[in-house]
Amino acid sequence: MIVIATLVVALAAVLHVLIFVLESVLWSRPGVWKRFAVPDQASADTVRPMAYNQGFYNLFLALGAIVGIVTYGIGQHAIGLTLVFFTLTCMVLAAVVLVTTGARYIRAALLQGVLPLAGLVLLVLADPVGG
């Protein structure tokens, strides 16, 4: 079970790296900002600094999950799990906050939050250090 949980956590991290790339690296492309429901170039230019910053939040969450996985893998189980749990919880809560901004963000919130939530559930079910 811990292997499946680790794979789901890794997928959540990869997703957040991809969000980082979209928001912080590729934002100037119309195909990217249109995915975020930004209506025109002027609005995209206005939102760009916020998207850039938000992208880095996603990157840092991904890095937290990755460092947690690696830390667990090198034998520091409690530290690794703590870091993964904290990171996944932040991802899930960010998705909850996104839903509170309006119904049109439900799809994005689900995309952002389902993998981390699944990772949390799988880690609890695996109970690798609690027993």
Question: How high is the mean pLDDT in each 10-residue block of the chain (131 residues)?
Answer: 94 98 97 94 96 97 98 95 97 96 92 96 81 50
114 class by beta-carbon count within 10 Å (0-12 exposed, 13-18 middle, 19+ buried): middle
Closest Cα partner for 68 from 92, 86, 84? 84
Question: What is this structure's pTM?
Answer: 0.91
